[in-house]
Chain A
Amino acid sequence: MTKLIIDGIEVEVPSEYTLLQACEAAGAEIPRFCFHERLSIAGNCRMCLVELKGAPKPVASCAWGVRDCRPGPNGEPPQVFTKTPTVKKAREGVMEFLLINHPLDCPICDQGGECDLQDQAMAYGIDTTRYHENKRAVPDKYIGPLVATKMNRCIHCTRCIRFATEVAGVPDLGAIGRGEDMEITSYLETAMRSELQGNVADLCPVGALVHKPQNYNMRPWELSKTESIDVMDAVGSAIRVDARGREVMRIEPRVNEAINEEWISDKTRQIVDGLRTQRLDQPYVRENGRLRAASWQEAFAVIAARVRGADPKRIGALVGDLVAVEEIYALKLLMEALGSPNLDCRQDGAALSPAQGRASYLFNATIAGIEQADAILIVGANPRTEASLVNVRIRKRWRLAPLPIGLIGEPADLTYGHDYLGAGPETLAEVIAGRHSFAEKLKSAQRPLIIVGQGALMRADGAAVLALAAQAAQAFGAVAEGWNGFCVLHTAAARVGALDLGFVPGEGGLDAAVMAQAGALDVIYNLGADEIEIAPGAFVIYQGTHGDRGAHRADVILPGAAYTEKSGTYVNTEGRVQMANRASFPPGDAREDWAILRALSEGLGSRLPFDSLPQLRRKLYAEHPHLGAIGEIAPGDGPAAIQALAAAGGTPSREPFASPILDFYLTNPIARASGVMAECSAIARERRLEAAE
C-alpha cells in the first residue's frame, strides 16, 4: 500500500495502482479517452494530466504508477493536484489539440449525447478555435457489418485496436500510417472476424465507430432504458434494453463482474431487428392443412377439444431454449394436472438430469472462478461459439499467465493457446488413464477445470461421456475443498432453470427424442422448442414468439412474448438466478407466456392456482426457494453429485464430438429472424468456405 495526498486528501492505495486509479480512489474525477480499465495502458490521449509535486510538467496519470511518485523532502507522501489552474490549462491544451481535426458534426453524429469528447469538451473545451487550416479528412473504412466508421472523428485513442487484440483475441484492427496520417483500419478493409466486434463501438469515446444497424436511427435521450438479462446463450450476460415507445432499438451491455464484465457478444447485441420481424402476433389454427388466424377463444377451444379426448399418457410437453422459469413452471403444473409424465426440456437430447444432483449440470467453478483455474480441459465444447463470454474469461486467465489448456472435440480457433488432444471420448479416457501427456499437467494443477460442452452430452452415449468427465474431475482433483472444477457449459438460456424445476420425463415418461417420433404421442405442447423436428402425426400446440420451425409444424399457434417483453427468471449455466425485465410489450394479440398457460388451463378444466405473476412467483419460490434469490448461486451438493455421476460409468462410443452450434449467428428463432445476423452469418460462411479451399 502506498500513501498519497491527492487534492489535500490522504489516501492509501495498492502500490500497483496507477495515479489515475489513486485519484479516483480519492474521489477526483479524471477525464480520459484512451485509458480503459480492462485494456492495456496506451497513454496517448494525454487528457488525464495531473500535477505531481516535484515533477517538472504535468504527468499523464493513467500511465504513471503510484510507486513512481517521489516522496517529499522529509518523507511526506507524494502530493498530487487534479484541480489546479495548471492542470486545467494543460487539459484545455490537450482538448484543443484533439479538436484540431475533429469535425463539428455533433448534430448528425450518433454518439451525440453519449460522447466522451462532447462531455469533456463541456469541461475543458474553449469556445473558439485558433486553427484556420482545413481539417484532416480520412476516408471511412469497411470493418464489418456491425460497426460503421466515420473516420474523420477518430482521435486515435486505439481502444478499438487494444480491445480486438487483447480481449477479443482476434487482432484484426490496426493503425496504418503515422502521425497525422494515422488511420484505424482492418487489413485491407476486410470484415472483423471477432464475435465481440460490436464492443469496439461501445469503447469508442467519440463517434468514429458506431453501431451500423442503429446508425442514424435514434438519439440516446429518447430511449427508455431497462436493465435485463440476455438469453442468446446460457451465460446470462447483463444487458440494458433501450426502447423507443414500443420498439426495442438497441441492446447494450451492463457491467456484471461475475459474468460478462462489460462485454456482450454480437448476437446478444444485434438481434434487435429479429425482435420485430417474423413475429407471431395472433393465434393461428390449422384447418385443412393451412394455418388461419383465429381468436384466443377459438384456439383454446380447438386445444381443449383435442386434449380432453386424449389419453394423458399420450400428451407431452417440450420446452425450448428461450423461455423463462415462470412459464416452464406453469406448464409443468398444467401437465401434472393433466396427468402427463411426458415432459422434457432437453430438445437436443443432452444427458443431464436433475436426479443426479444440481452440481451435475452446473458450471460449478463459476465464470469468475475461471480466473482461479490453473489448468483447463475442454471436452466437446467450443466456448467461443457456445458461450463467447466464457471464452473471453478463459482468454483473460490465459493472458494473465499462460496455463495448460486441452481441447477434446472439434478443432477450433479459441483465441488462446491450447493443446488439441483429440476428437472423441477415447481421448478423454486416455487422459484419465494417464496415457496422455496432458494428464501430467492436469495432475500437477491445484485447481483444474473440466468444461463439458453440450456437444459431448447430446448424443446417445451422452450419459457415459458425462460419467467419464466426472471421473476425470475426480482423477485430477478438480473437486476438492473450496473448489469444484467440474463445469457443464450450457448453450440454452432456459435449460438450467428447467432442470432446476425438474422439467424432465416423470416415471414412465418419454424424452424429447422419443416424443418427437411419429406415433409416439397424440398431443404435444411445444413451449418455444424450435430446434427439434417433430414428426407428423401428433397434434402440436406451439406457444412461441417467431414463425420458425416450431410454428410451421404447429396445429395451433399461441403467440407469446419474447424475453424483452416480459418479466422472467432465467438461471444461467453457473446456476445464477437472474431476472429479465420488460422493456416493451408483445406485438398484437401476443401475451405473456405464463398468462397464456393460465388462461388455457381454465379451458382445459384444470385451473392453475394463481391469477398474477406475483402469485405464481410466491408459489414457485415456496417450492423452489433458491429461485427467489436473484443474482445468487444456491450452494449445491457439489462433491456428492460428481461422485454419483462418476460412479454411473458406461462405455462411450468412439464417435468424435460435434459442436451443437453449427452457425453462431443463427442459433435461435430470434436470431434467425434477424437480417443483421443473417448478414453476419453469410460473411462467416464465406470465410469458412475460403478457409476450406
Chain B
Amino acid sequence: MSNRRLAAAEIQPPSFAFTADNENWAAREIEKYPPGRQASAVIPLLWRAQEQAGGWLPQKAIEAVAEKLGMPYIRVLEVATFYTMFALEPVGRYFVQLCGTVPCHSCGAVELKEVLSRRIGEQGHVTADGTFSWLEVECLGACCNAPMAQINKDYYEDLTPEILEKILDDLAAGREVKPGPQQGRRSSEPARAANTLQDPALFDGSVVGAWRNRFEEQAIKEAPTGEASTATAAAPSQPKPAKPDAGRTIESEAADTPAKKAKEGEVPVKPDDPEGSADPRKATVAPNDERPEGRSAPQSGKSYTPTPAKPEEGRPVADAKGTTPVSGTSPAEGGARRDGRDTKPVGPKTSDEAER
C-alpha cells in the first residue's frame, strides 16, 4: 500500500449531496447511536456516499459526511484514508479487486494479475470507456476458493485466467455473470474427493462429551462407597446447580470407549495397541490419496510426511517400532530417541507398567 491521497482537484466533482433516499437512510443510521455519538455512523455514511458517488469518495462527499455528523473534516479524512475499501480515486463501473495474498498467490493469482494488466492496464487506471479498473488487495477471506477476485459487490472464486477473461467479456458486453465459485463448487466444500473428517462418528454426536465417560467409569469403580453414596443420599435435599448441558435432549453414548466396544462385542483398542489396530473403515486417513502426480507435498526428513513416496515411510506402521511414540506408551517403553541417543528416562515403574 502506498500513501493514499484524495484524487486530483481537476477530477473532483464540484459538489456532493446525498439523494433524498440516502438522506432518509442516513438519518435512520444515525438514529441507531445515542445522542452525541453520531460520529459512530461515519463508516456506513461514507460507504453510502461512496456508492452514490460511483464507487469512490470525492472530497466533497467526505466534507458532506463530516458536516452531517458534526465532525471535523480531518476526522472523516482519517477514516477514509485508513480503510482501503474506501476508494479515493475514481474507479470503473466494474471495479475488480484481485486478492494477491499468499493462498491466492500460490493458487495462481499471478496469472490473473497478468490478465488484468493486459486487459485493463495499470492498477488504479480506469479504462477509456469507464468500464473497468482493478486493484490488487490483501486477503478477502475466501482462501478456500483461491484464487478469487471481488468485482463490485460480488466474489468470483476458483478463477483461472480463462474464466476471468470470460467474466470480463461478459461484464463488458452486459451479459449476466454468475458470482461465486466458477468451477462447479457450490461453496467452499472440497474441490475433489473428501479426504478428511470422514469418520461418521464425528457427525452422529457420539464424540461430543466423550471425555466425560472417564469420570463415569471412575465413579463406577469407586461406587457405591464413601462420599459418592452420601452425595446420592443427600441429593434430593441438596439439589446441585444445573449442569451447563442440562437442557440438552440426548447425549448419546461415546463411540469409542473400550467399555462400549466391549459391550458391542468388538475387541476394544487398548492404549498400548499399535496404531492401525482400529477399524480401518473408520480411519480418518483415506487409504488412497487421490492427489494428482507432480504436485508433491513438501518433503522433509521428518518422520511425518502427508504424501509418502514409500508406503512404509511417513505413516507410523503397525509393527515398526515407530520413532513417534504411540500415545499411551510410557516413556520408558518408547523407542530410541529420534536424535539417535538411546537415553531413556529412568524412573520407578508406574502402576500401569506393574500391572502389565
A, B assembled together: yes
Closest chain-A Cβ to B63's Cβ sits at a distance in Å of 9
Check A181–B72 contact: CB distance below 8 A.
Answer: no
Would you call B344 an interface residue if the criterion is a C-beta within 8 Å of the partner chain's C-beta atoms?
A: no
Counting contact residues on chain B (CB < 8 A from A), the size range is 10 to 19
Q: B75 to A177, Cβ gap below 8 A?
A: no
For residue A172, CB closer than 8 A to chain B, the reply is yes
A187 and B74 form a contact (CB under 8 A): yes
Chain A residues positioned under 8 Å from B2 (CB to CB)? 181
Determine the distance from Cα of A174 to Cα of B77 in the docked complex, in whole angstroms.
8
Contact between chains at A176 and B81 (CB < 8 Å): yes
23 CB-based A-B contacts, threshold 8 Å: A171-B72, A171-B75, A172-B72, A172-B74, A173-B74, A174-B72, A174-B74, A174-B77, A174-B78, A175-B78, A176-B77, A176-B82, A177-B4, A177-B81, A178-B82, A181-B2, A181-B3, A185-B74, A186-B74, A187-B72, A187-B73, A187-B74, A188-B73
**B-side contacts of A188, CB under 8 Å:** 6, 59, 73, 77
Residues of chain B with a CB closer than 8 A to A592's CB? none
CA gap between A172 and B75 in the complex, in Å? 9
A565 within 8 A of B: no
- Tell me the residues in window 71-101 of chain B with beta carbons closer than 8 Å to chain A beta carbons: 72-75, 77-78, 81-82
**Chain A positions within 8 Å of B81 at CB level:** 176-178
The answer to whether B297 has its CB under 8 Å from any CB of chain A is no
B82 and A174 contacting across the interface, CB-CB below 8 Å: no
Interface presence of A195 (CB below 8 A) = no
- B3 & A174 in contact (Cβ 8 Å cutoff): no
Q: Does B231 contact A (CB under 8 A)?
A: no
A386 at the interface (CB under 8 A from B): no
Asked if B1 is at the interface of the complex by the 8 Å CB criterion, the answer is yes
Q: In chain A, what residue has the closest Cβ to B78?
A: A174
Complex Cα gap A250–B108 (Å): 62
Give the A-B pair count, Cβ closer than 8 A. 39
**Nearest A residue to B2 by beta-carbon distance?**
A181
Considering only CB atoms, which chain A residue lies closest to B5 in the complex? A176
A281 within 8 A of B: no
Enumerate chain A residues within 8 angstroms of B74, measured Cβ to Cβ: 171-174, 185-187
Question: Nearest Cβ in chain B — how far from A352, in angstroms?
Answer: 39
**A183 interfacial contact with B, CB 8 Å:** yes
Contact B3 A177 (CB under 8 A): yes
A42 CB → nearest B CB, Å: 14
Q: How far is the CB of A151 from chain B (nearest CB, A)?
A: 11
Q: Which residues of chain B are near A175, meaning CB under 8 Å? A: 78
User: Which residues of chain A are within 8 angstroms of B3 by Cβ–Cβ distance?
Assistant: 177, 181, 183
A181 close to B1 (CB less than 8 A): yes
Contact with A along B1-43 (1 / 0, CB 8 A): 1111010000000000000000000000000000000000000
Taking the closest CB of chain B, its distance from the CB of A280, in whole angstroms, is 44
Q: In the complex, how many angstroms separate the beta carbon of A194 from the nearest chain B beta carbon?
A: 12
Q: Kindly state the separation between the CA atoms of A187 and B59 in the bound complex, as whole angstroms.
A: 11
Taking A174-B75, A176-B82, A177-B4 as given, write out 4 further A-B residue pairs in contact, using a Cβ cutoff of 8 Å, ordered by the A residue number: A172-B72, A174-B72, A176-B81, A188-B73
Nearest chain A CB to B218 CB, angstrom units: 32
Question: For B75, what are the chain A residues with a Cβ–Cβ distance below 8 Å?
Answer: 171, 174
Q: Which residues of B contact A185 (CB under 8 A)?
A: 74
Output the residue of B74, B75, B77 with the most chain A CB within 10 A. Answer: B74
Bound-complex Cα distance A188 to B1 (A): 20
Q: Which residues of B contact A183 (CB under 8 A)?
A: 3
Q: How far is the CA of A185 from the CA of B4 in the complex (A)?
A: 13
**In the complex, residue of chain B having the shortest beta-carbon distance to the beta carbon of A138:** B3
Closest CB in chain B relative to A149 CB, distance in Å: 15
Q: Which residue of B lies closest to A186 (CB)?
A: B74
Complex CA gap A173/B74 in Å reads 7
Minimum distance in angstroms from A141 CB to a CB of chain B: 12
Q: How far is the CA of A188 from the CA of B6 in the complex (A)?
A: 9
Top 9 A-B residue pairs of the complex, sorted by shortest distance between their CB atoms:
A174-B74, A176-B81, A187-B74, A187-B73, A171-B72, A174-B78, A178-B82, A177-B81, A181-B3
Q: Which residue of A lies closest to B84 (CB)?
A: A178
Q: How far is the CB of B149 from chain A (nearest CB, A)?
A: 23
Q: Tell me the nearest residue of chain A to B72, going by C-beta.
A: A171
Chain B residues with CB under 8 A of A186: 74
Q: How far is the CA of A188 from the CA of B2 in the complex (A)?
A: 18
Enumerate A175-210 residues with CB–CB distance to B below 8 Å. Answer: 175-179, 181, 183, 185-188
Q: Write the B50-81 contact mask toward A (1 if CB under 8 angstroms, else 0).
A: 00000000010000000000001111011001
The CA of A186 and the CA of B74, in the complex, are separated in Å by 7
- With A and B bound together, what is the CA distance between A177 and B79 in angstroms? 8
**Chain B residue at minimum C-beta to C-beta distance from A139:** B3
Instruction: Output the least CB separation between A680 and chain B (Å).
Output: 20
* Assembled-state Cα–Cα distance A173/B72 (Å): 10
1/0 contact string of B328-345 vs chain A (CB within 8 Å): 000000000000000000
Measured between beta carbons, the chain B residues less than 8 angstroms from A173 are 74
A179 to B82, CA, bound (A): 9
Q: How far is the CA of A172 from the CA of B73 in the complex (A)?
A: 8
Complex CA gap A412/B73 in Å reads 20
Q: How far is the CA of A183 from the CA of B4 in the complex (A)?
A: 10
Chain B residue numbers with a CB within 8 Å of A187 are 72-74, 77
Q: How far is the CA of A176 from the CA of B6 in the complex (A)?
A: 11
Which residues of the other chain, B, contact A177 by a CB distance below 8 angstroms? 3-4, 81-82
Closest-by-CB residue of A relative to B80 is A176
In whole angstroms, what is the CA distance A185 to B81 when docked?
A: 12
Question: What's the nearest-Cβ distance from chain A to residue B14, in Å?
Answer: 16
Q: How many whole Å from A176's CB to the nearest CB in chain B? A: 4
Please give the distance in Å from B78's CB to the nearest CB on chain A. 5
B59: chain A residues at CB < 8 Å are 188
B73 — nearest CB in chain A belongs to which residue?
A: A187
